[in-house]
Amino acid sequence: MGYFLFRRTVGLFLTLFAVSIVVFASMNVLPGDPAITILGIESTEDARAVLREQLGLDEPVLGQYFAWIFNALQGDFGVSYSYGVPVSELIGERIPMTLSLAFSGMALTTTLALFLGISAASYHKKPGDWGVMLLSQLGIAIPAFWLSMLLVLLFAVKLRWLPPGGFPGWDEPLSAMRSLILPTVALALVQSAVLARVTRSSALEVIRLDFVRTARASGFSKSRVLWRHVLPNALIPIVTIVGLQFAALVSGTIVIENVFYLPGLGRLIFQSISNRDLFTVQALVMMFAIIVVLANFLVDIAYVLIDPRLKGRSN
Site for another protein in 169-228 (CB under 8 A): 169, 172, 174-175, 178-179, 201, 204-205
The minimum distance between CB 230 and another protein, in angstroms, equals: 14
Nearest in space to 273 (alpha carbons), one of 35, 23, 46: 23
The distance of closest approach from Cβ of residue 261 to another protein in the complex, given in angstroms and rounded to an integer, is: 5
- List 4, 115, 227, 261, residue binding another protein (CB under 8 A): 261
Q: Which of residues 49-68 bind another protein (CB under 8 A)?
A: 50-51, 54
Site for another protein contains 36 (CB under 8 A): yes
Measured distance CA(74)–CA(7) in Å, rounded = 25
Spatial separation of the C-alpha atoms in residues 152 and 162, rounded to whole Å: 8
In this structure, is the dihedral angle defined by the CA atoms of residues 65, 67, 71 and 77, taken in order, positive or negative?
A: negative
Q: Which is nearer to another protein, 127 or 219 (CB)?
A: 127
> Which span (70-78, 108-116, 151-159, 226-234) binds another protein, by CB under 8 A?
151-159
Least distance CB 174 / another protein (angstroms): 5
What's the chain's length in residues? Answer: 315
Query: Is 275 among the residues that bind another protein (CB under 8 A)?
Result: yes
Burial of residue 197 (number of CB atoms within 10 Å: 0-12, 13-18, 19+): buried
Torsion sign, CA atoms 124, 127, 133, 136: negative
Identify which of 20, 32, 33 has the alpha carbon closest to the alpha carbon of residue 64. 20
Sole binder of another protein in the list 47, 61, 67, 306 (CB under 8 A): 47
Stretch that binds another protein, among 107-115, 160-168, 224-232, 234-242 (CB under 8 A): 160-168
Q: Is 44 in the site for another protein (CB under 8 A)?
A: yes
Cα separation, 267 vs 3, whole angstroms: 40
| Contacting range for another protein; rule: CB under 8 A; set: 69-77, 107-115, 146-154, 209-217 | 146-154
Number of residues counted as binding another protein (CB under 8 A): 93
Cα 240 to chain centroid distance, Å, stands at: 15
Residue 292 found at the interface with another protein (CB under 8 A): yes
CB of 163 to another protein, least distance (A): 3
> Which residues lie closer than 8 Å to 67 by C-beta, 6 or more apart?
56, 59
Taking residues 81 to 120 in sequence order and writing x for each that binds another protein by CB under 8 A, - otherwise, the string is: -xxxx----x--xx--x-----------------------
Q: How many Å is the Cα radius of gyration of the chain?
A: 24
Say which residues have a Cβ less than 8 Å from residue 239's Cβ, sequence separation at least 6. Answer: 302
Q: Which of 26, 71, 214, 221 binds another protein (CB under 8 A)?
A: 26
